[in-house]
Copies of this chain bind each other. A is one copy, B any other.
Amino acid sequence: MNPSGNVFVLSAPSGTGKSTLARRLVQELPGLDFSVSYTTRKARPGEVHGRDYSFVDDATFDAMVAQDGFLEWVRVYDRRYGTGRAWVQEHLATGRDILLDIETQGAGRVHRAMPGAVMIFLLPPSSGELSARLRGRGDESEEQVRIRLEYAKHELAQWEGYDFLVVNDNVEQAYRRLAAIIIATRCRRERMGTAAQQILDSF
């Protein structure tokens, strides 16, 4: 029915709960698929190659950059993250939707490349809440937590570049809101016009 799928960009400061929510959206909403980013960082315990990220070494990442293989890529601290161009383009052509889980720098580049992308920003309830969550994760030093909070502030300052803002103060409510944004987008006139015209033509 739709010529091309929708692109949803989900950004959030590290520790806001974005990955868990993104995974659940893709599991529970038919027709929505996760764009798996490439990264040069090491997998954390429980993370699966090809599901959470495509974990690649620096040489592989360099080669993809040289071949213009990324829709966007960024450096965060000493790591690089990128969205594979070919996968996104081929996927959208099938009419299915894509969820891109990327941080603010990359999100801005995707928005410029695809102005129709629906931009969603997930926010922590407060600075205190985010620092408690980052420390609770227990896999980072106090210095790393401090750097993440600084970076979170920098990212949060980008909220005006997003279409939708969702505060993750309650994970069920945040999930419901994110799902609503995706379902509502699919009901937009631009997406449903063909169906409406067919119904009208049946009269």
Chain multiplicity (copies)? 2
The interface size bin for chain A is 35 or more
- Taking a contact as CB atoms under 8 Å apart, the answer to whether A188 and B164 are in contact is yes
Per-residue B-contact encoding for A174-190, CB less than 8 Å = 1, 0 else = 00110111111101110
At the interface, yes or no: A166 with Cβ under 8 Å from chain B? yes
Q: Once bound together, how far apart are the Cα atoms of A188 and B188, in whole Å?
A: 15
Q: Is the interface of A mostly helix, strand, loop or mixed?
A: helix
Within 8 A of B (CB), among A82-133: 121, 123-128
A123-B196 contact given A164-B187, A187-B166, A189-B165, CB 8 Å threshold: yes
Binding site for B on A (CB under 8 A): 121, 123-128, 149, 152-153, 156-157, 159-160, 162-167, 176-177, 179-185, 187-189, 192-193, 195-197, 199-200, 202-203
